[in-house]
Amino acid sequence: MRRIHPDIKDDPDIVQAYAYPEGRPWLRLNMVASADGAAWDKGLSGGLSGKADKRVFGVLRGLADVVLVGAATVRAEGYGPVRPRESWRELRAGRPAAAPLAIVSRGLDLDFGAPLFREAVSPTLVITCESAPADRREAAAEAGEVIVAGGERVDLAGAVAALHARGLTRVLCEGGPRLNAQLAAAGLVDELCLSVSPLLLGGDASRILDGEPSRERLRLGQVLEEEGVLFCRYTREM
């Protein structure tokens, strides 16, 4: 891997390249897209990902306090728990060996007996709203920890505040596109880490934001490259 912006450097320190800013909460989106903007290939993001992307993905998870994801992405991608890695030992000193998952779900259509809940190092968080079915909320509370934010729908600003109140201030969101769009519309996105895969896909795949409109000007802070894949790090202009 090499850095090609803002300078040229071979084999940059990836941990340093993606370090969180000190002294403030931070929410970053991490997404992969084809060169023509598709957020998935045949319904899954894995078809866009390669070795380098998976390496960056692992570092971002190791740095995060919590991994935020939408329920539809959990189901589509077959999510399991975040599992500890030996390479994270120093990164996570003083913290749990792996970040917990926080799943955003209004209807709670989740398998609470799955490894995602049963084998998690830290209890899996389920973020829902007051209108969620009571029996499903009870099942979620038995399997993990429930955060109720909002009435008829999940209030994402309240949800993120609840994560911060638990000391989970470095938030890594892995999508999907509808959750990303809602976070952006609420003004909650501080950073976008976008891997651009050298593929043209066409078709009806979503963009990385799909849903509510938003307009946020970003600053390009860094670009890494390996085997034609670009790893772009954008931050919100303050």
Say if residue 43's pLDDT is above 80: no
Residues 208 and 194: beta-carbon distance below 8 Å: yes
Please list, in sequence order, all residues whose beta carbon lies within 8 angstroms of the beta carbon of residue 134, skipping any fewer than 6 positions away: none
* Amino acid of residue 92: R
| Residue of 203 and 209 predicted with greater confidence | 209
What is the C-alpha to C-alpha distance for residues 41 and 204, in angstroms, rounded to an integer? 10
Say if residue 238's pLDDT is above 80: no
Please list, in sequence order, all residues whose beta carbon lies within 8 angstroms of the beta carbon of residue 7, skipping any fewer than 6 positions away: none
Please state, in angstroms and as integers, the Cα–Cα distance from residue 19 to each residue in 94, 98, 156, 160, 220, following that order: 17, 17, 24, 20, 15
Tokens of 226: 């390996």
Tokens of 131: 């209108």
Categorize the per-residue pLDDT at 78 as very low, low, confident or very high, splitting at 50, 70 and 90.
Answer: very high
DSSP state of 46: G
What is the C-alpha to C-alpha distance for residues 159 and 211, in angstroms, rounded to an integer? 19
Residue 97: per-residue pLDDT = 96
Pair type for strands 218-226 and 66-70: unpaired
* Mean pLDDT, residues 98-109: 97
Please list, in sequence order, all residues whose beta carbon lies within 8 angstroms of the beta carbon of residue 216, skipping any fewer than 6 positions away: 184, 187, 189, 236
What is the C-alpha to C-alpha distance for residues 232 and 113, in angstroms, rounded to an integer? 37
Q: How many CB atoms lie within 10 A of CB 2?
A: 12
193-206: pLDDT as tens digits: 999 999 999 888 89
Residue 235: per-residue pLDDT = 98
Interior/surface letters 218-236, b for 16+ CB within 10 angstroms, e for the rest? eeeebbbbeeebbbbbbbb
44-76: pLDDT as tens digits: 777 788 899 999 999 999 999 999 999 999 999
122-153: pLDDT as tens digits: 999 999 999 999 999 999 999 999 999 999 99
Average pLDDT, the chain: 95
Residue 177: per-residue pLDDT = 95
pTM of the complete model:
0.96
* CA end-to-end span of the chain: 30
* Mean pLDDT, residues 102-117: 97
DSSP strands (E only) in the chain? 2-5, 9-10, 26-34, 66-70, 101-104, 125-128, 145-148, 170-173, 191-197, 218-226, 229-236
What is the C-alpha to C-alpha distance for residues 188 and 163, in angstroms, rounded to an integer? 13
Residue 236: per-residue pLDDT = 94
Residue 44: per-residue pLDDT = 76
What is the C-alpha to C-alpha distance for residues 172 and 60, in angstroms, rounded to an integer? 7
* Mean pLDDT, residues 113-119: 96
2-30: pLDDT as tens digits: 999 999 999 999 999 999 999 999 999 99
Residue 200: per-residue pLDDT = 93
Residue 180: per-residue pLDDT = 97
* Mean pLDDT, residues 166-182: 97
Q: Point out which residues pair with 146 in neighbouring strands.
A: 126
